[in-house]
């Protein structure tokens, strides 16, 4: 009779002990995550600094008001879109057809809870709406970490999942996204759900059971991911290619996946087509723009976007790919462990789940890379940054590969192995430690945002009046007033105002450092703001302008307000 290997007699006792150890470490990780969330939210947070975040936030508030999916941020291109489609231009409750709806819908509820504090006062350094949305984003991040733990445990084991999630919690970029007001943390949670459902479907395939139900459910969640950010479609496309080849009855699986995706996304496309004549709304025009073109540049026109140019699109795509390749480490949160995912592609994993799922990850990431190349990604914390969604996958595979290399060193001391893992986590946490040790220079996001001084526009202008601005998203969010993006030319401004295309004249023009701090000749005299030089210069020349009264605003007079009359002097 064969004798059991040495030590197996202790196995039944050691398994519960190991389980209790992992459970305690999970509790410790949860406590750390909650503590970091509170520190970032109440110590590091200075309010929003990204236009897309403020835009989605003000849409969420309109939903909370009961105004439907409408916006107070008006783009001249949106007016052209409606005119081009023969649709009426609403004079009240202008419909939104650029931003996708899920993130604003999610944020509408927490904003409704603080409705009594919507009005920003001069003493409010950080707007309550900013903090509520950031708080919800932190909750989604904590939820995402929980789901990713189960994904990692399914791919590898509980210990790898726990260490990988610890590295995720210690990645500063994740916390910066929670404070940004962008939908990435909501997307991270949804993406984790798609990974878990895909793994369940793969297990059913191995057992010979039907996978269509899980494929359908996964496609539904991918639909929600796309409604959280339109670029989620590119990730779905990569997953669809994988599902079409991996699961039984390939054509049927692909059709079921497409059906589930369209059930969720289809109504939104139909709504956009009904409102503006284009299922995509205003989305997609950035693809035909030259490299370096900001959204605010092509959205400023009232005569339609430029014609499609294959050369310009290819140049934009190449520029974006070069930028991503050169800054990939930053896009992965400067996380060395995540970067090891690419080295792990050369390793043959023995675990069936890890080996089988790796092509799916690679296809989704490459497809997302294609989408980011077309849409453009400029900053680490930016609306179109999708690398952040793949960091958990990269961490699990990178960690597993590093542990394989460690095992080949044949260092059998548990203490040394534990020290090695702690060193890896320390490397992941270096940016986070730097953030926590350094205090922000200012309590607000200046330049260019000073929320209390933007909010004063809501006092000087009535609800039935409109303001034009170079930062209309901030005016709409903090001042709660309808705000038009500064048109490309003065002629277009006068047409919108004189013909009352929005049902009212433009009673104010608010300019900020976004235009005032631009290069004088290349960006103002010869650039996108050539028609507005006479107002951007100091002192401005208001002769013949329809808003002849002006006043400089804090800080240091870098913001200036033009109006039809003096609205800021104390009234007797």
pLDDT tens digits for 112-153? Answer: 999 999 999 888 889 999 999 999 999 999 999 999 999 999
> What are residue 506's DSSP bridge partners?
466
Name the nearest CA neighbour of 470 among 297, 350, 352.
297
Top-confidence residue, 354 or 19: 354
Cα separation of the two ends of the chain: 105
pLDDT band per the 50, 70, 90 thresholds, residue 10: very low
Please give the backbone phi and psi of residue 376, each rounded to the nearest 5 degrees, phi first.
Answer: 95, 130
**pLDDT value of position 378:** 81
Please give the backbone phi and psi of residue 476, each rounded to the nearest 5 degrees, phi first.
Answer: -65, -40
For residue 238, count other CB atoms closer than 10 A to its CB: 22
- List b or e across 38-49, with b for residues whose CB sees 16 or more CB atoms inside 10 angstroms: eebbeebbbbbb
Distance of CA 329 to the CA centre of its chain: 18
Distance CA(564)–CA(228), nearest Å, equals 40
pLDDT band per the 50, 70, 90 thresholds, residue 377: confident
**pLDDT value of position 16:** 58
pLDDT band per the 50, 70, 90 thresholds, residue 293: low
Q: What is the pLDDT of residues 199-244, one digit of tens each?
A: 999 999 999 999 999 999 999 999 999 999 999 999 999 999 999 9
Q: What is the pTM of this model?
A: 0.93
Angstrom distances, CA of residue 180 to CA of 224, 242, 289, 394: 20, 32, 26, 23
Name the nearest CA neighbour of 221 among 144, 156, 282, 275.
144
Task: Kindly give, in sequence order, each residue whose CB lies less than 8 Å from that of residue 69, ignoring residues fewer than 6 positions away.
Answer: 59, 62, 63, 95, 96, 101, 104
Angle at 317 between CA 311 and CA 321, to 5 degrees: 145
Task: Tell me what the mean pLDDT of segment 412-440 comes to.
Answer: 93
- SS3 string, 354-422, reads HHHHHHHHHHHHHHHHHHHHHHCCCCCCCCCCCHHHHHHHHHHHHHHHHHHHHHHCCCCCHHHHHHHHH
pLDDT of residue 441 exceeding 90, the answer is no
Q: Which two tokens stand for residue 469?
A: 């601005």
Query: Lowest-pLDDT range, 245-254, 285-294, 322-331, 332-341?
Result: 285-294
Distance CA(529)–CA(493), nearest Å, equals 13
For the chain, the average pLDDT equals 91
**pLDDT value of position 1:** 42
> What are residue 74's DSSP bridge partners?
484
Burial class of residue 177 (count of CB atoms within 10 Å of its CB; 0-12, 13-18, 19+): buried
Q: What is the pLDDT of residues 494-519, one digit of tens each?
A: 999 999 999 999 999 999 999 988 87
> What are residue 467's DSSP bridge partners?
483, 508
Name the nearest CA neighbour of 366 among 242, 183, 261, 200.
242
What's the sign of the alpha-carbon dihedral 474, 477, 479, 485? Answer: positive
Distance CA(144)–CA(161), nearest Å, equals 13
């Amino acid at each position: 009779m064969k004798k059991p290997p040495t030590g197996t007699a202790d196995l039944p006792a050691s398994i519960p002990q190991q389980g209790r150890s992992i459970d305690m470490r999970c509790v410790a990780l949860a406590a750390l995550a909650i503590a970091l969330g509170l520190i970032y939210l109440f110590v590091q947070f200075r309010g929003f600094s990204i236009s897309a975040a403020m835009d989605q936030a003000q849409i969420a508030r309109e939903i909370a008001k009961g105004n439907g999916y409408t916006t107070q941020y008006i783009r001249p291109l949106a007016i052209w879109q409606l005119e081009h489609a023969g649709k009426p231009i609403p004079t009240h409750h202008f419909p939104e057809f650029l931003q996708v709806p899920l993130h604003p819908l999610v944020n509408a509820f927490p904003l409704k809870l603080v409705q009594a504090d919507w009005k920003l006062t001069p003493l409010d350094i950080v707007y309550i709406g900013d903090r509520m949305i950031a708080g919800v984003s932190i909750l989604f991040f904590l939820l995402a970490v929980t789901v990713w733990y189960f994904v990692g445990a399914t791919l590898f084991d509980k210990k790898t999942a726990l260490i990988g999630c610890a590295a995720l919690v210690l990645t500063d970029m994740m916390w910066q996204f929670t404070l940004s007001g962008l939908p990435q943390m909501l997307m991270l949670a949804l993406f984790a759900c798609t990974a878990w459902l895909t793994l369940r479907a793969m297990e059913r395939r191995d057992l010979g059971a039907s996978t269509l139900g899980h494929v359908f459910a996964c496609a539904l969640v991918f639909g929600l991911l796309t409604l959280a950010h339109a670029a989620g479609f590119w990730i779905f496309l990569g997953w669809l290619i994988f599902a079409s080849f991996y699961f039984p009855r390939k054509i049927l699986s692909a059709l079921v996946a497409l059906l589930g995706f369209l059930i969720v996304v289809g109504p939104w496309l139909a709504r956009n087509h009904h409102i503006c004549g284009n299922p995509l709304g205003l989305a997609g025009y950035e693809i035909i723009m030259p490299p370096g073109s900001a959204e605010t540049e092509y959205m400023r026109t009232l005569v339609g976007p430029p014609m499609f140019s294959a050369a310009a699109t290819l140049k934009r795509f190449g520029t974006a790919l070069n930028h991503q390749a050169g800054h990939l480490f930053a896009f992965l949160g400067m996380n060395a462990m995540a970067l090891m995912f690419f080295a792990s592609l050369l390793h043959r994993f023995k675990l069936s789940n890890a080996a089988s799922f790796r092509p799916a990850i690679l296809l989704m990431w490459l497809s997302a890379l294609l989408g980011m190349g077309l849409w453009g990604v400029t900053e680490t914390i930016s609306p179109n940054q999708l690398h952040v969604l793949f960091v958990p996958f990269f961490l699990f595979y990178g960690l597993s590969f590093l542990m394989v290399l460690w095992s080949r060193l044949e260092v059998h001391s548990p203490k040394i192995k534990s020290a090695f893992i702690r060193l890896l986590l320390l490397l992941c946490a270096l940016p986070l430690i730097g953030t926590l040790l350094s205090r922000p220079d200012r309590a607000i996001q200046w330049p260019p945002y000073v929320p209390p001084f933007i909010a004063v526009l809501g006092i000087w202008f009535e609800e039935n009046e409109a303001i034009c601005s170079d930062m209309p998203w901030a005016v709409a969010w903090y001042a709660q007033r309808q705000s038009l993006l500064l048109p490309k030319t003065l002629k277009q401004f006068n047409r919108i105002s004189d013909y009352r295309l929005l049902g009212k004249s433009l009673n104010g023009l608010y300019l900020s450092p976004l235009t005032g701090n631009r290069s004088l000749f290349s960006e103002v005299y010869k650039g996108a703001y050539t028609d507005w030089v006479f107002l951007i210069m100091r002192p401005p020349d208001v002769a013949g302008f329809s808003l002849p009264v002006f006043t400089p605003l804090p800080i240091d007079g870098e913001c200036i307000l033009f109006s039809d009359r003096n609205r800021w002097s104390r009234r007797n």
